[in-house]
Structure 1
Amino acid sequence: MTDDLCTPSLSHAIGADVATVLAGALKSLADPLRLRMLSAIATDPRGESCVCDLAALAEVSQPTVSHHLKVLKETGMLLSERRGTWVWYRIAPGRQHAVAALLDAFAPAAVAAAQEDANARVEALRDGDARVTRLGEELADELTGLHRDLVIAIVRESYAGLVRSAKVTGHLIPLTERFARQRLADHVRDRSSDGVPQVLFVCVQNAGRSQLAAALVNQLSGGAVIARSAGSSPATQVHARVRSLLVDIEGEQNADAAFPKPLTDDAVRAADVVVTMGCGDVCPIIPGVRYEEWAVGDPALASPEGVDAIRDDIEARVRGLLATLIP
């Protein structure tokens, strides 16, 4: 019996030189305004377009229009000719068939695929709405100490808050349940009686700094302090670089459970300390809540070395914060 070995045959792949040229051409087209300009020139009955016509496609400055046309010209898509005051552009003869294929075949197919995705999303959200209703009823039956209408309303608000930034709707219901339970706990929390300090970390996307800070508090405090995190404009998922740090801090399972959440008034009201991390004045001012602003770098924009430095910076700040909260 012989093993089925992988015997790759790459002779059908385009060459590296061709791929480089093609990638450059595609990169030059990867801009909505350039594509509109190309379409306008290709479909102009005169066979060419004046730069004054192209400038009317968008409310941008003349230098911006000239820049985009220059990019298309440098990659061989366009030819130009000055006549008096204005410059006229036409599709280069060798690129006419390629441009026609792009506009007549690829563009409609891409738009149709995008519409199918949008229709699928609408259908998924419609189905999700019914599941959210069931979830609200189930939590209301479970949490009998809270007013039923309050529980259902918070479940629906939690779903609405998460769905705004969701790319994939398949996991929204379990995320909605976790977020709603957290919000309900925050809603009923009495800061003066439970004796466990709670810290809320807020950044813009809740995908980097605030997630990392909350994880470090939970790790270093050993449960003596509760940490939450939220975002003024949540991202769709935690940054990949930060997730790897969360795995080191909390383990794979807890890192997988981390997700960006929108900021709520209840989360601020339930916190003893609110730490903002580059999100501006987005938090409501609640009497009795202590506020701090930490000027910390964004790991999403940093090099691997920079991410490590940001982690160390946040850990040092967290240790200082815990020293003020734990006797």
Structure 2
Amino acid sequence: MTLIEPLPAADAPCAPAATHAIGPEAASSVAAALKALADPLRLRMLSAIATDPRGESCVCDLAELAEVSQPTVSHHLRTLREAGLLTSERRGTWVWYRIPAPRRSAVAALLDAFAPAAVEGLDPATGSPAEPVAPVPDDLDDRITHLAEELAAEMPELEDHLVLAIVRESFTALARTARITAHLVPLTERFARQRLADIARERGAGAPQVLFVCVANAGRSQLAAALVNQLSEGRVVARSAGSAPATDVHPHVRSLLVEIEGEGATAERFPKPLTDDAVRAADVVITMGCGDVCPVIPGVRYEDWNVGDPALASAEGARAIRDDIAGRVRALLDTLSPADS
């Protein structure tokens, strides 16, 4: 079966197939919603409301997002409300806004899947396309095979064929988003070591383990894992992964990770794809804006944290998100102990 169908002959009659395109009424409705969203401040307001732990935001909070007049803020909120993306309620002096239940899943998809994908591939400093992918070295396959042999020798409790499969799977998963192949082998080694450790833990025991999952694994899940490792002082092991991992940790987040872990430890952090063995090894799986992407494993505790995405926030906003995550991490650690593993 070919992946690309041949073009019809030049003299072939035009006979378009039946289409499943969106209908005109639905298209008009969607276009109106997209038109309402076609403004950076309105998108930021919607994001602030969607991630507010109260489930709603006061107009006084939203006015702090930008240095604009109150009538301008009211205009943008009215536009979102008229498009059906917000509802409002006056309580005393202030008006409160929330996302109506029928629109929450659509807004979540926009903010947690489409927005990171739209930003991905651009240089954060310039907004220009990032550097192109480098060519793959000729000896890459030999280096991956040699790496698998080394790891198999270090982990005799795991079967050689399993180690080789995990190493090759890890390389393939990371290569999908890699721009610079020169770093693929050391990144594959780190990722494969983590996966093999998870498999070994599933077969044995150890400290309680928490897995944080978001879409890109470039922001909040990385911060959460670093904070667990710091605040638990080794009592709890934290991992992170992404349902659609980015190519690198976002610069705003990397600077925060340096403050938490130091420059050397931060170099070890890179976006990783979600794997079943990581979920099975975890005592707690915490999703952060990625929806129902995690396989449900009996005996694993699941939570969902509704926090903003620091990769889409300002530097100040990223710090506020870090503080929010830190508070949640402290509460989580109070529920974990070595006896939970």
| TM-score, shorter chain, exceeding 0.5 | yes
CA distance in structure 1 between the partners assigned to 2:205 and 2:322 by the alignment: 33
The 5 Å alignment of 1:129-278 reads: 129-190=141-202, 193-194=205-206, 196-278=207-289
Aligned residue-pair number:
212
List structure 1 runs of 4+ shifted beyond 6 angstroms: none
CA distance in structure 1 between the partners assigned to 2:235 and 2:287 by the alignment: 21
Give the drift of 1:276: 0.3
Task: Give the structure with higher Rg (CA).
Answer: 1
In structure 2, the CA distance between the partners of 1:165 and 1:134, relative to structure 1 (3 Å rule), is same
Please list the CA deviations of residues 261-304 of structure 1 after superposition, one character each: whole Å capped at 9, or x if unmatched. Answer: 11100000000000000011110000000000000100111122
Secondary structure of 1:154 counterpart = helix
Letter in 2 for 1:238: V
Matching residue of 2:314: 303
Is 1:280 the counterpart of 2:294 in the alignment? no
Matching residue of 1:109: none
Q: Give me the TM-score of the superposition, normalised by structure 2.
A: 0.59
The 5 Å alignment of 1:51-130 reads: 121=135, 123-124=136-137, 126-130=138-142
Letter in 2 for 1:170: A
Structure 2 regions of 5+ residues with no counterpart? 1-23, 32-131
Letter in 2 for 1:173: V
Structure 1 regions of 5+ residues with no counterpart? 1-60, 65-116
Preserved contact between residue 191 and residue 272 of structure 2 (Cα < 8 Å): yes
Give the drift of 1:142: 2.6
CA distance in structure 2 between the partners assigned to 1:262 and 1:129 by the alignment: 21
Structure with the larger RCO, 1 or 2 (CA within 8 Å, 6+ apart): 2
CA distance in structure 2 between the partners assigned to 1:151 and 1:190 by the alignment: 15
Preserved contact between residue 148 and residue 164 of structure 2 (Cα < 8 Å): yes
Preserved contact between residue 286 and residue 304 of structure 2 (Cα < 8 Å): yes
Preserved contact between residue 278 and residue 295 of structure 1 (Cα < 8 Å): yes
CA distance in structure 1 between the partners assigned to 2:329 and 2:289 by the alignment: 16
CA distance in structure 2 between the partners assigned to 1:263 and 1:281 by the alignment: 12
CA distance in structure 1 between the partners assigned to 2:228 and 2:155 by the alignment: 28
Q: Give me the TM-score of the superposition, normalised by structure 1.
A: 0.61
Letter in 2 for 1:242: V
Please list the CA deviations of residues 181-204 of structure 1 after superposition, one character each: whole Å capped at 9, or x if unmatched. Answer: 11011112148743x110000001
